[in-house]
Structure formats: structure tokens, C-alpha cells
Chains A and B, each alone.
Chain A
Amino acid sequence: MISAQTEADVIDAVRDARAKSRTLEIMSRGTKRAYGRPMSCDDVLNVSALSGIVKYEPAELILTVLPGTPVAEITTLLDSKHQRLGFEPVDWGAMLGTATGKSTIGGVLSADVNGAAAIRYGRARDSLLGIRAVNGLAESYKAGGKVVKNVTGFDLPKLMCGAMGTLGVLTEVTLRVYPKPPQSVSLIVRDVSVEDGFALLRRVWQSPLEATALAYIPASVPITQLGYVGEGAALIRLEGAHEPLKEKIAALLAIARSAQPIEAANVFDSISRGTIFAGRNCDLWRVSVPSSEAAGIVRQMGSSVFAADWAGGSLWIGLDAGGNGAELRAHCERADGQATLVKADEETRQRVAPFPPEPAARRALTRSVKAAFDPQNVFNPGRMWKAV
């Protein structure tokens, strides 16, 4: 394992790997190592020591950090100024069977894992304003900027989000932050079917209440804290200052008469972290579909292990371990969406493409883009698809 302390170390490591035609697994704290296709790289480049706050300017809504900075540290810092990250970064450590509470901002961005509030504030890619990175030619470069509004040059920061470290090594990231509303209320609507529950969540989403979480949990995935849920429960989070929040709750009751406040703030977190499925012996798939198609997918798959975020737009579905997901993917395709295999054993992730297979023209483009950043395939080869 090579441990980089600085950007210069990263450059050296990449130059060396390039010269010797060796491949590098880019790793920070390694909490998501079991996500994506298994790789066998010649070396591990550990970048977790590239950690620390570079600059935090609350009044500019800007935070610049080194990518190895733990999310927990960032959350604490932002909290001290009543701010937060809009996409609500998620820790998949526990679900994937590694450590919890260790995930770093670079890892979260690279894997594009977003929490409940992303339905209101956008995903990680929408908050990443600027980067420094090292490409596969061992050159460092910057892209984007350190201001909230910028269109100078291609928006490479977005491309780095969700690229799983296949395009380069991040060495600095600049994020937009948001004020944290003073109060937050979670509400539950009990005993609703999947169809009715998702439709209800959509009505809230179509209203101006700016809900920051719209989730659904079926009875088959019990959460003690919620008490009796009947067929299933729709969960809504509203935020704001005292008076506005009162008005929003009243407006919500006009949409969903039986909605009740509940102490369940951490339920949203446990859904996005996938920890509600702990102990189940199945593979976990993450499905993205237009919300109106989500109930159909759930019915078609007939699995009792599922939960929804983003009014159904983001679904977890548990399927028999070792399956190839072909049926799920076919349904998703018809519904204008796709499915990603998040949790499965190594053999399955080797055999079944974890990331959605691409149509031919798109695949060719993806490969060209990879080559534009990493022509020699130094970084995380095969992590997303065989060739990328």
C-alpha cells in the first residue's frame, strides 16, 4: 500500500505506476470497497491522509476541504454555523459490512451516495463546485471554481461525482453549503399501500412545501420506532422556522389528513444507509425510476424487502442472493430508469454488472471519456464496467 500525504505524493505514485504499467486502487478509508466490480490492482493508493479543512466561508456558502476529510468532521464544522450539506451524505459502511462513521467526503462524492434531502437540494454533483485532481498522466489540474456560480470551461467536477475513482484522484474539493433550518418535523401516514403511499408522497413533492424527505417503508421491513404501520408507512420531513413550519404542517394535513408528527428523524438516515435491511440474506439493488413508475416495479418484483426514498424515485429492493437482476433491469428499462447492484458477494459482483449496462453508442463514449482522463487505465480498472 502506498500512502499519499500530499498531492505531490499522489503525482509521484501515479507517475511511478504509469512508468511501470501498474494499476492503482484508489482508496480512502475503504468503507465502500465492496461496492462496484471487484478489482485486482497491482497496488493500493491510500489517500485518506489528504484530510483537513482548507477554507470555510459561511457567508459565501463555500467550503473547501481535502477529500480525505471525514464527513463527520465536516458535519460538525458546518453545524457550528447552522449550515449543512444539501445532499445529506450517506454512510454505507455498516450496510456493506465495513466500519461505520468513517466515510470521507471524497469517497461519498466519488460514489455519489445521497441522502433523503437530495430530493430538495439536488445530489452531490449539484453541490460540488470545484476540484483539484490528478489524472492518469500524473498531471494535477483544477476545474470548476470556488464561487457558487460559474460556467467557465467544462464542468469536470460533476463528472467526478459517481465516477468511482475511475477518472482520477481528487486532491481538493469545493462544496456549496446550505443554511440549516432551525426546526425539523417528521410526520407519518400509516397503513397506506405502495401505490397510495407513493402517490401521496408525490402530491407533497408537487406542492410548495419543499419537503426534505419523502420515504416509504412497508410492514415487511419493521422499524420498532414507528410502531404499528399497517400495510406500510409514508414518512415526510418538513423544515423551517417555527411559524413557517406550522403553516407547512397545516398544509400537509390538507393533503394527508391522517399525517401525525413522530420522533423518527433517524429513520430517513437508516433508509438511505440501508441499515434497515441488516441481517437479511439478500442482494440489495438500488433502483432509480420516475416516481410514478416505482410502485409498478415493486409489484412486478414481488419482493417484500424494499423501501423508498425520494417519493419512490429511489428504491432499495432486496432480491435473492446471487441472482443476475435481469428481470429487474428489464422492468426498469421499460420504466425509463435503471438498477445498480449495491450489496452482493464478490462472486456475484464479478458475474453481474453492478452498474447499469450501457447501449453501444453510449458505451463507446464512456470509454473515450475514460481514456481522456486515464489513457493507460491506471485508476480502478474495471470498477464500473469491464473496460472502465
Chain B
Amino acid sequence: MADTAGLAAFDGDALTAYRQKALACVLPKTKEQVSAVLKFAGEEGIAIVPRGAGTSLSGGALPLADAILMGMGRMNRILEIDYENRCVVTEPGVTNLSITRAVEVRGFYYAPDPSSQIACTVGGNVAENSGGIHCLKYGLTTHNLLGVEMVLPGGDRVRLGGKAGDGGLDLLGIAAGSEGLLGIVVEATLRILPKPPVTRTLMAAFRSVPDAGQCVADIIGAGVIPAAMEFMDKNCIGAVEDYCSPGYPRDAEGILIIEVDGVAAEAAHAAERVTEIAKAAGASAVTEAFDENERIRLWAGRKAAFPAMGRLAPDMLCMDGTIPRHALPRVLIRMAEMSKKYGLGFCNVFHAGDGNLHPLIIFDVMKEGELARAEAFGAAILQLCVEVGGVLTGEHGVGVEKRDLMPVMFTDADLAQQQRLKCAFDSAGLFNPGKVFPTLSACVELGHMHVKGGRVPFPNLPRF
């Protein structure tokens, strides 16, 4: 596909501030076709940008003017369901939720559950190492990924991992979270889990944010690992109540939604412990969803955080740093100060169990300077995350969005080692160039041995 209208359909991802049309777009249906395109691209020195559903929040699937965009949406078949060995073998274009849908008849599910799960693809999940609200207990994509088949730059196909691993270097661990920089995932083997028989959902309201933070620490400290533990601040509660009235207490400074699961006695035991601990930590109220409808309503509020904030302003930036949980009160205070400084509203939703913050910054692109201010505010938040001992991204990836912040967390030596690994897969620098790394070093500068013919990759690469 190379016509303007066709390319316009693929001109960006969910990091909406950036738009760019690709040189051409290919939509392969088979591994062989992927190999053939990559062989051709390798020979011609044309860059490749892999794309799943385009829901990346970090600009990972943003096209480049001089690159082929490879959309994986047509490789959308589940190839094998192997209940005996608790796994599913799938093509990369299958959506995340389809995996659970395919196995739930037998009481199984696929654990990583990004909020975008009806749209995002397995290939995108692998590339971003996506998480969801259940990852404290059940892990990110990487912990639920048994194997992939990958087509490397140049068209060679390799298997990494498998139903029983591969016994070699853990290159599968590298493929997960590689943000489309190392190759195209053309097949994935995913672990499925038996559905817990009982799930119980509680809500605890707090008069102060530090109390909520203490409650989270106390729950974990007491040896309870909830299936999910989500924090929402006052701004967020207000926005969500206006939007869909899930019944959150508007007067609370923050709430925690806590889900526990397991066999009945296990869920009951955990629910009891959580209630005790929350009360001791100063919760003004702890309530439990009494039936499935009520449970869905409690979660509906959390899941509506995005659209609810979206009503307050035309544009929104969703940040994604992780912090040690004990730093939460300090970080929230500093963020409120920054909000004043940058003159932009924001709210906080937080995967509290694993310390993954999602501040949502609201702004209006049409207003002079607001995009730049929003980005500066976002960057300041992420710098703060690193300063308190955390990281730039917990689940959304670096992409173009956080590329230039990498030096905040990593030294030159750290980044050089990462780039050398990139060169081991992609010596010509053809895969998703301009993403993740703040400076593009030619592999030859990094002392890598596999550079072909001294070709310097992309001297004219557009930078954003």
C-alpha cells in the first residue's frame, strides 16, 4: 500500500501528538511473506517499522517517511490451544482479549490484561512487554511468554524459547520488551492460567494520601499479594464520578480498589486481612462489592479514568513511571506543585501494588504552548520517578516519547551496552530507528563486528 489515503490510516499510534506517513505499508499474511519483505528491505537498506494495532502510548509504532510500515493485523489466527501444557500458540496479530476468549470455555485465561486489551495485539504486547492491573500477582507479558518465532533483519527466522524453553541464552527475555527494534514477532507461545474460583473486590477510602500509601505497604508487608491494587486520587475520583458515577466517595483524598482471588477460603482470608489492615492504616471506610454487578461497577470507574479525564480537556498525556511505593506521598506532593508550575491539570491513577504511576496530564493542543508544557510536565514527573529510585516506564515502553529521557536513568556506558545488543540483531540499524535510544550510534562506532560494508545507517534520519 502506497497511496495517500491508505497510508493515512496508519500514520501514528495512541501517542497522538505525533503523525507521520510511511514510505509504504505492507500487510503480510504469512511468515514467508515477512521474511521476503525483510530480505528485500535488508538488501535495499530500507528501514522497517513494525506495527500491531497502533495502541502504543509511547510512539513505538510511529511510521517514518523513509521506512516501510509492516502491519501485522492480518496474521490473526490462533494456531494451537494446548490445554494439557497450559499454552496457546498464536500469530502476532491476534488481539490480547481473544486469547482469553478462546480458552475461557475450559476455565482458563491469559493473565496480562492491558486496558487496551480489546484492540492491542499479542505482537505489540510482546514488543512492549505490556502489563495490566493484575501484574503484581501474575506478571507482565514476559512472565507469561514461553516462546516466539522471530524474523530477523535480512529475513532469517529463529525460534526463541518454546513450550519447554530452548536451553540456550535467554534471547526470549530480550525479545520481550524490545519495542520492535530487533525483529518481527511472527508467532508467540503464551502461558494460560486456570481461572481462580473466587474473586472479591474491596474499596477503601482514605482521608490522606500517605495513609493510603501506608496501607499498601502494610498489605504487602503482611504477606498478602492482591490480584490487583489500584489507587485513584481526588481529582480522578471527581472526574470519574461526573462521568459514570461508580459510587466512589467524592470527599476522600484517595481510594484503593483491591481485588483478592483464589480458592474460596483463600479469597476470604485475604479479604479479611485487607479490611483489617486498611482500617488500621486509617481508612475512613472499607466496602466490598456484594455481587458481580457491584464488582463490575467498581471497576468501571477505574477503567473510565481515561475518558473521564478526556472530558475535561481535548488532549491528554498518559505517563507511566514506576516508583518504590514508599515514595508515593512525596511524589504526589511534588506532582501537585508541578501542576501549578506548568499551569496544567492532572490526575493520578496508580497500579499501587507494583508502584506503577499513571499520571494523566490534560491540555489543549490548539492553545499556544500547551503541548510543550504538557511534555515538559510529563518529563519532570518521570525525572522525579528516577530521582526517588524508580524508572521511566513501567509498562508503556520508551518509544519516541521517553527516548530523550533515557540519559536520566542510564549512563553512556549503560546505553552503549544496550545498543551493542541491538547491533547483534540488527547491524544495519534498519529496525524501528529513532525509537528508544537518544543518540543513534552506528554499530561500527560501538565496536561491533557485524557491520556489513561500512554502510552508515540513516544519516538523514528524521528526529522529533
Q: Which residues of A contact B (CB under 8 A)?
A: 57-62, 82-83, 112, 122, 125-126, 135, 137, 139-143, 145-159, 161-163, 167, 178-182, 202, 205-210, 240-241, 243-244, 246-248, 251, 288-292, 313, 335-340, 355-356, 358-359, 361-362, 364-366, 368-373, 375, 384, 388
Contact = CB atoms under 8 A, between A and B. Distances in A.
Which 6 pairs across A and B sit closest by C-beta, in order of nearness? A158-B173, A179-B223, A244-B266, A368-B424, A356-B167, A337-B164
Contact of A313 (B164, B172, B194): B164
B15 interface: no
A209 B170 CA distance: 29
Q: Which of B128, B156, B402 has the most CB of A within 10 A?
A: B156
A210 B390 contact: no
A302 to B, nearest CB: 21
Contacts of A361: 152, 156-158
A356 B417 contact: no
Q: Which of A145, A180, A359 has the most CB of B within 10 A?
A: A145
Given A358-B168, A372-B421, A373-B420, A155 B174 contact: yes
A151 B264 contact: no
A368 B87 CA distance: 30
A146 B390 CA distance: 7
A127 B51 CA distance: 29
A126 to B, nearest CB: 5
Chain B, interface residues (CB within 8 Å), range: 35 or more
B197 A208 contact: yes
A335 B83 CA distance: 16
Contacts of A362: 158-160, 166, 168
B324 A146 contact: yes
A143 B166 contact: no
B170 A161 contact: yes
Contact of A58 (B83, B221, B406): B221
A159 B164 CA distance: 17
A233 B139 CA distance: 32
A149 B140 contact: yes
Q: Which of A60, A156, A159 has the most CB of B within 10 A?
A: A60
B142 A154 contact: no
Given A82-B223, A207-B194, A291-B85, A154 B263 contact: no
Interface in B147-191: 152, 156-160, 162-174, 176-178
Interface stretch (B93-101, B129-137, B249-257, B309-317): B129-137
B306 interface: no
Interface stretch (B200-208, B334-342, B445-453): B445-453
A148 B355 contact: yes
A306 to B, nearest CB: 16
21 contacts: A57-B324, A57-B326, A58-B221, A60-B217, A112-B170, A125-B170, A141-B414, A149-B394, A150-B393, A151-B394, A153-B418, A167-B169, A180-B223, A208-B197, A244-B265, A247-B266, A313-B164, A366-B169, A373-B420, A375-B447, A388-B169
B173 A356 contact: no
